[in-house]
Structure 1
Amino acid sequence: MLGRLTDGLDGAGLWWLSGYAAGLARGQALQGRPASAALPAAETAPSQILTIVYGSQTGNAKRVAEKLAAQSEAAGVTVRLLRADAYPTRELKDEKQLYIVISTQGEGDPPDDAIGLVEFIRGRRAPKLPQLKFAVLGLGDSSYPQFCEIGRVLDERLAELGATRLFERGEADLDIDSVAAPWLQRAVEEAKTLATVQPQHSATVTPLRPLQATAPAHDRDRPFAAELLAAHRLTAPGGLRTPAGRDVRHFEISLEDSGLHYQPGDALGLWPQNPPALVDEVLATLKLAGDTAVKVGDDEHSLREWLSGKRELTRLSRPFLAAHAGRSGDDGLKALLDAGNREAMARLFDEQQVIDLLRRHPADWDAEALVSALRPMAPRLYSIASSQKQVGDEVHLTVAHVEYDFDGQTRWGTASNFLSRTAEGERLPVYIEPNERFRLPTDASRDIIMIGPGTGVAPFRAFVQERAEIGAAGRNWLFFGNPHFRTDFLYQLEWQRAVRDGQLQRIDLAFSRDQAQKIYVQHRIRENGRDVYDWLESGAHVYVCGAIAMGKDVHAALLDVVAEHGGKSREDAADYLSQLQQQGRYARDVY
């Protein structure tokens, strides 16, 4: 029976089952109910249960939380591991030990799977927590002004509610392990100390642990060298911004012999290389030799190798800015850092790359100091634009090629430039990043509403392909937007064919620059509000993919729709959408 129960579960599912079983044992201990006759009585004190909750947008917080759970269980601590949206908030008042690992996205926003938990803890319904001992690890990106904001908010709020902070919160930048590793070590030590010794002569329940399933041969740390099969441009020249127009490309990549599998909604992780011209420019500006050997920790490479694929050059970070300000002696940079002007800092991070800072504010750097100060290269995640049921051992991407002028110099995006430089037949280091939050309904008769302007349409290409392959009875409705119909209608022929073949029942378009008044997808949602609300009331799932700002505008439009056509107050409309999120019927993949 246990084999049937666990058959097909991935690592996250097995962790959830482990936590669920531990939670059942915990519930019996809390409520004093007799244990099932099939198991010995559970007399484990509630304080022995360590609850680990994670909120993760791109998978990093999830990975850290899973590592913490594994290390804690190996140390003999009873653990339950839960994603934030699966955590029963009613249990918080009885919680004794709680670790939270949570990321911050955009301008101080929680990850989508943690919105409900964060709102609950910050809200008036949050209980007093004098019995709780806790610790928080925040993950973030220091190129954003509100670095690790959600971790800070939860840490301070839990203390305000009377909980005892076991030790100071951690705040990890993209170099996650430098902060996470010592934080995890301290967390496990504290959990061991708090674990209550079992009373003598009492029977115990051993919590389920993850089964030793076969690990995939390729993952984030062991990417697969995948062949680029094909690439072509989706947009026509002459569109927005430059004479060349927006450059959005379609890539087809082989996963043959990789053993990698994905579902619609998942992302493809790509380890990129910096543009060679940019590496040359940094070396020339600092008058450093690319063949200089540099050792950082146990890793030794030439400086050119470090700058090409192991350090970020297109993303500034606050630590590098501070280090450069100290070396350059530039009063303007020091004043910017000291003032803590978030708007000015955000503008600098948005506009400038490492080379721009080096050129505008000259300073001397030696090779080792430079490599140590730069942030580590991070993989880029792209929503997968294909269904494996239809394309087999391939994965398709929809990528905007980033290239622009700054101070008379050409600047690029790291990964999009890397993809554009890769010739068909060459190899790309990739892996699959599952996204359990962004899944098609298990009931294929459910309707779905897909809102994906620009490259945010990528996962919905996969959704429609998947639903066609399985013969889903539910209806599909797509909202798509971009600047111009003539140049920017991504996958136009495919969508027209899907409508003709009955695979796409509705499509509403918003081409913002084709008329004097700008029209975006949120306007189309409001225009079709009666039908949108009727679909939701009939059980439809709604999905949003694209930029964070767009996601907020779409959310506001959905609030308007629910309030107007459901006859609800703004507060009740917000509760309605929150319920959809908790039911897994309102999912967002925003970045």
Structure 2
Amino acid sequence: MWMYILAFLVAALIAWKFLFSKREEKPTFSPAAIKFDSAPKITLNSNKKAKKTKKEGQIGCKVLFGSQTGTAEDFAQTIAEEAETYGFFSEVVDIEDMTPEDLADEEFVIFTLATYGEGEPTDNAKDFYDALMDESCNPLPSLKYTVFGLGNKTYEFYNAVARRVDERLLELDAQRIVEKGEGDDDCSLQEDFDNWRRKLWEPVCQAFGIEFKSVAKVIKPTYILKEHDSAAKQSTLVTWNTKGINRNVIDVKHPVMCKIVAKRELHSPSSDRSCLHLEIELNEKMKYVAGDHVGIYPENDPYDVNQWIDYFQLDPNQIITVASEDAPNRPLVGPCSIRRLLTNFVDVYAIPRKKLFQALAIYATHDEEKKRLELLGSSDDAGWSAYNEYIKDPQRTLLECLEDFPSCKPSFIHVIELIPPTKPRYYSISSSPKQHPNTVHVTAVVLEYKTGTGRVHKGVCTNWMARKNVESETHHLPCFIRTSTFRLPKDPKTPIIMIGPGTGVAPFRGFIQDRKHTEGRGDSILFFGCRSRDVDFLYADELQEHLTDGSLGKLVTAFSREQDQKVYVQHRLLEMKDEVWPLLKDAYVYVCGDSKSMSKDVHKALRTVVMEAGNKTQKEAEQFITALQTKGRYQQDVW
């Protein structure tokens, strides 16, 4: 992840030099909320990173990660650290920097691969994945490997990428020396990973003729924090201008600052919740298609940043750089102020992982506190039980934990090393470039709820956007477009069925706008649900206009709280089975919204529609639905 920061800072420095003699009154920030790596000593790009030297006779172990949010990369780093304790020469490598042909030269490769969306590889793994699946890919008989997959069982294609990669490598005659592992992000991802890697090293050592010994890993700090004189470093602080940047690539590693040009509340004043409509002006090189996502890097709430500053007794204006102890003169982030570090680069709300408790135990001076921290950091059954009860279920944050362990006084830089970086938040774009070519629209509920500890948790990005004043100079967001496979049919005459309760209507607003500007469009039905037509019926007036001008063929609503018996979109789907079934023979079906219950209930309802209106058995109905998915005619954008 450090490569993200480095690439971003280099581009920003170039921009600063370019604009230094042409200063205008344009918005700046210093620097943007780009990922701050919580993991390895060596993660800079190839021409900057500190070099490790492979000893004679040492076996190479390359850990390749395909990651969308950073978790797979974090797992890769954990594996690499453990590999070193067994004598391997380990390297963590972004899979986008490898090709399948490169694998022929490797002794041992471990893949940590996340599945994204509808069974797709992550953005950084796509090129490698496509090349591996190509029939021209050469055999790999000398490669020894294993795979750990990161998925979510609420999604239809659970861990599809890891499974396909594993199967393909076997087809190419590679040697799998440990059974593939799979983790479920909906339930027990970290526990699944820990259980898998506990069984990993003994067979690996046997395969390479290495003596296996259980090694206790001591979590020691590997980052250093350098303080600088503010005046001396002022000229090197990175500033960023929203215009004039000559950049060919704008993506998760290279976002650009985009201006919020409009913001409004979509719920009525009587609502106890808030839902924002934002319009964001695009950089001229940013292009999108209806159905794509916009990624936004948020800023942490100033109140919570101040809590960290107070706890660690920091000077918020102190200018610092963060570096690896292996390469102290090659900054990983900075120079920037401590406040900027905590505001933009680190996830101060992250639920602490077990690795962090293993490190905290080192700092505790009270015996009982040390034992408790060691238990929370352990991976046996008792450790997981304690962790789930104390950390996971109540969603306890690091500062809340430290308050319960007063004898534990960890160093600030060690904590920064061990907590996750700030990650981008992704939103389904609720507009079409055919109607809004220069802006993307975002539809987002402002998240706020009480955790098990009594703390009020506020969604980081939505609350940050809610605080933005469109008239101020700080109303910019670091953004990029992420391409999606959630697409309208190529033939506009194809019927479409859209099912999107709440903010799930977002991409369908874009679809309808797209069809408004398309000739010869086919039938379309939108199933929309909310609590009450007078409180949270999103875009009600717009949808009525689309019905009037023919952009939308039919709107079916489900207002769950307007009658004694709650009614949801799946109920409306069943009520209209005789109208839906004839469309299903040719239509594309789209579902957007909650993955835990809504999408599953809609799936069941569709199966029932096929059974009852199509006069099919349950098995035949499932086969029909599966065929829709295989042909790309049943697509989901769920979270």
The 1:421/1:80 distance shift into structure 2, 3 A limit, reads closer
State the alpha-carbon separation in 2 of the partners of residues 100 and 81 from structure 1. Answer: 20
| Contact 1:139/1:151 (8 A) holds in 2 | no
Show the 5 A alignment for 1:56-135: 65-69=95-99, 72=102, 104-106=150-152, 108=153, 112=157, 115=160, 118=163, 131-133=173-175
Q: Name the aligned partner's letter for residue 98 of structure 2.
A: L
Correspondent of 1:222 among 234, 241, 254: 254
Structure-to-structure mapping, 1:148-163, within 5 angstroms: none
Contact 1:453 1:546 in 2 (8 A): yes
Equivalent in 422, 443, 448 of residue 491 of structure 2? 443
Contact 1:264–1:386, Cα closer than 8 Å, also in 2: yes
CA distance change for structure 1 residues 427 and 369 in 2, over 3 Å: closer, same or farther? same
Cα distance between partner residues in 2 of 1:395 and 1:66? 28
Amino acid at match of 1:571: K
SS at the partner of 1:104? strand
Match of 2:614 in 1: 566
Contact 2:590/2:635 (8 A) holds in 1 = yes
> 1:588, 1:59 → 2: CA distance?
23
Alpha-carbon distance, 1:473 to partner: 1.6
Counterpart of 2:593 (choices 540, 543, 546) is: 546
Which stretch of structure 1 is more off in the superposition, 337-346 or 230-239? 337-346
| 1:276-318: CA deviation from partner (whole Å, max 9, x where unpaired) | 1111112223434434535243224433222111011223142
Aligned match of 1:282 in 308, 312, 316? 308
Does 1:466 pair with 2:514?
Answer: yes
- CA displacement at 1:273 relative to structure 2: 0.7
Equivalence for 2:476:
427
* CA distance in structure 1 between the partners assigned to 2:435 and 2:638 by the alignment: 25
TM-score (norm 1): 0.68
Deviation of the 1:461 alpha carbon: 0.4
- Alignment-derived partner of residue 366 in structure 1: 411
What corresponds to 1:399 in structure 2?
444
Contact persistence 1:545–1:590 (CA under 8 A): yes
- Matching of residue 382 in structure 1 with residue 418 in structure 2: no
Hey, what does 1:356 align to over in structure 2? 400
Output aligned runs, 1:416-565, within 5 Å: 416-425=462-471, 426-435=475-484, 437-537=485-585, 539-549=586-596, 550-565=598-613
Q: Deviations over 1:216-257 (max 9, x none)?
A: 342222211111101011012333xxxxx1110000011143
1:128: Cα distance to partner? 9.0
CA distance in 1, matches of 2:362, 2:606: 48
- Say if 1:568 and 1:509 are closer, same or farther in 2 by CA, change over 3 A: same
Residue deviations 1:506-550, cap 9 Å, x none? 12212222222222222222222232222111x100111112112
Deviation track 1:375-408 (CA, whole Å, cap 9, x = no partner) reads 1111111110000110121110001112344556
Query: Partners in 2 of 1:521 and 1:268 — Cα distance?
Result: 26
Instruction: Report what 1:200 is aligned to.
Output: none
State the Cα distance separating 1:131 from its structure 2 match: 3.8
Is residue 314 of structure 1 aligned with residue 331 of structure 2?
no
Q: What's the secondary structure of 1:395's corresponding residue? A: strand
Q: Which runs of 5+ in 2 are unaligned?
A: 1-63, 74-92, 107-124, 200-206, 211-221, 223-245, 325-330
Supply the distance in 2 between the matched residues of 1:150 and 1:442 (Cα, whole angstroms): 41
Higher-helix-fraction structure: 1
**What are the ranges of 5 or more consecutive residues in structure 1 without an aligned counterpart?**
1-52, 157-163, 168-177, 179-213, 240-244
Q: What is the one-letter code of the residue matched to 2:270?
A: G
Whether the aligned pair in 2 keeps the contact of 1:448 and 1:477 (CA below 8 Å) is yes
> Partners of 2:70 and 2:487 in 1: how far apart?
15
Distance 2:357 2:401 in 1: 8
2:322 to 291, 295, 315: 295
DSSP-derived class of the 2:628 partner: helix
What's the CA shift string for 1:62-118, capped at 9, x where partnerless?
995543338849989xx995768x969x999x9978989886344x45675965995
Task: Name the % identity.
Answer: 30
The residue identity in structure 2 corresponding to 1:270 is I
- TM-score after normalising by structure 2: 0.63
Question: What is the alpha-carbon distance in structure 2 between the residues aligned to residue 565 and residue 150 of structure 1?
Answer: 44
Kept in 1, the 8 Å contact 2:375–2:386? The answer is no
Work out whether residues 296 and 372 of structure 1, in 8 Å CA contact, stay in contact via their aligned partners in 2. no
Amino acid at match of 2:568: Y
Secondary structure of 1:485's aligned partner: coil
Distance 1:518 1:343, change over 3 A: farther
